[in-house]
Structure 1
């Protein structure tokens, strides 16, 4: 069993979930709220985790939607108050983990989630939040170690709160929990992890340790994601992809870029984030090429891209080989919303760390090309 203490306390290996009771006791939790979704429950993973939590008996919320909503947040806060909860266990993909962060934030700070929007400077007000344990069941978002919480508000808009104080106190990464993840979701979540490495490596923020982690994320995902998609029972591939996802979350400290700036508003169409990012990533790589030659050369080396191929073309082929869409048209995105998406992408905080600063017209051109 590997105990990694970097950004947070991380228990990583097959069987790591068996340490849950020990980690609950270490944090002194008496009545944790376990946030998950119906898919995780139906797969039998929830029962396994509840058994590992004994003698603790967490209060369970299973209503998390694919893109977490403020409505779910309010329901969790009601449950928190009614049951006298004192901490959280997030179980699932990025959605339950982000929802858990939002509950931890408002349970400790009060107010409305919009008060902590990074775009309005609200995230700077975030101090220590309620204690959390995060247990990912997919290898993709890196939300378990990420400092951001993305949520759809009651009015349908998406907002992001970003602060290192929201990172879970303890993270339990057990690749065993990903063995039954379908190939389509393995691909969609895995391409998101890969994109974190690519965009962080190109980011303008100076953070050499995070860049090294980003490039290792790229190397692992490029090699092992196709194996995990082809053979979900391949234990080494599942271990490597859970590590790639964790690294993708670690390197978020360096910032992302334009693919995620476009992906956030497009996500309001209730489209899977990873599939969107897989479509958008080659376009921002092409846009950045003239100013990010050194970073892209390092990415090419990490991913073992053939010399004769453009990096963006290799990424498109890689995405297609995983059975994922490579155009927004395939995903049903209507063309008439593209100007609005481009405007919102320009205003997104992730545009600030893209190596070449896109304006609305640049984003619109990329989105039209991605159609």
Structure 2
């Protein structure tokens, strides 16, 4: 199973440096775009569709609002709403078995990053009974076509064909995916994000911002990922505080949805870094909300790694409208303050006794390998966590 497409590690991109850019989804953006979902599914030859989502969206009526036109167009619709935050390999495997048993032929991913990640795993495993979400078992065949409809401006999971899942047995994040389940269409309707509470807007928006920032300093970056990431940072830096303060602001909601998508396009090409490695570890060990886990370590990790890649962090500072890379840590502390996401690792129930397990989990996470500065030991990360 494949993860994000990356190039060779580099401190910068010189003229003539080779890079490979994969294809992505067709993007359908705009208020009211949900009305076009039946057309997009029909274009994929869908007749029996599995909607992968969460129980909260179903209870709020969002699922019915999206699936009603699909059913009216004559497509059979089955809803699988067992996804929770930080989706597990078990949920994905159960969803795939459900889709297989019913003979479903397409997946409509509806929700935040958890639902989209789970949907891609389900789409991959459904045609292949012997395949497992952790990469063991049979090699998956071509997955079912996916149409992705994000309802948060955060993960950018609609841009790529891999999902981040939790394996409770090993206390690790696993990356489940394949090029065949890159969403055929990413449908970005800002109206679906209007009802998102301020706290969720902030947490998911911080994720989008960090995707852009880490992509600009990633060892796997290339000219295309830098372009996507810089624009994502520029938009998120301006519009995230507005969206948190006024969730009904149509411009802020639209800008953040685009920012999240651009950041997803960037990370798919570049990979991420240690902020995500530590945040993944916090979520695994404490159940912390991903965006809050990022916010807890963001200023300190960026400050700790500035000297390792002045050019990359300089691009990030420029995109944020800052005078120099050295201004980033304090400015990022201001962003988490302004969005109400300022927390410490202690606030997330990670005391000193947990620092070493967190450090070892982060070091084992593949995303940490793209960080501009690598810890020399777990002890170095333990020391860093003590300042977060």
What TM-score, normalized to structure 1? Answer: 0.92
Q: Distance in 1 between matches of 2:209 and 2:62?
A: 25
Indicate the residue corresponding to 1:208 in structure 2.
223
> Aligned ranges for residues 1-371 of structure 1 at < 5 Å?
7-53=24-70, 54-55=72-73, 56-109=75-128, 110-115=130-135, 128-155=142-169, 157=171, 158-161=173-176, 163-252=178-267, 253-268=269-284, 269-305=286-322, 310-359=327-376, 360-370=378-388
Q: Distance in 1 between matches of 2:277 and 2:353?
A: 19
1:35 and 1:64 in contact (8 A); partners too: yes
Q: Distance in 2 between matches of 1:335 and 1:164?
A: 40
Q: Distance in 2 between matches of 1:7 and 1:199?
A: 20
What is the RMSD computed on CA atoms of the aligned residues? Answer: 2.0
1:116 and 1:161 in contact (8 A); partners too: no
2:219 and 2:370 in contact (8 A); partners too: yes
Q: Distance in 1 between matches of 2:126 and 2:324?
A: 52
In structure 1, stretches of 5+ residues that fail to align are none
Higher relative contact order (CA 8 A, sep 6+): 2
Indicate the residue corresponding to 2:4 in structure 1.
none
1:126 and 1:165 in contact (8 A); partners too: no
- How far does residue 308 in structure 1 lie from its aligned partner after superposition? 10
What TM-score, normalized to structure 2? Answer: 0.88
How many equivalent residue pairs? 360
Indicate the residue corresponding to 2:11 in structure 1.
none
Q: Distance in 1 between matches of 2:123 and 2:325?
A: 49
> CA separation of 1:126/1:302 partners in 2, compared to 1, >3 Å: closer, same or farther?
farther
Q: Distance in 2 between matches of 1:245 and 1:308?
A: 22
1:97 and 1:143 in contact (8 A); partners too: yes
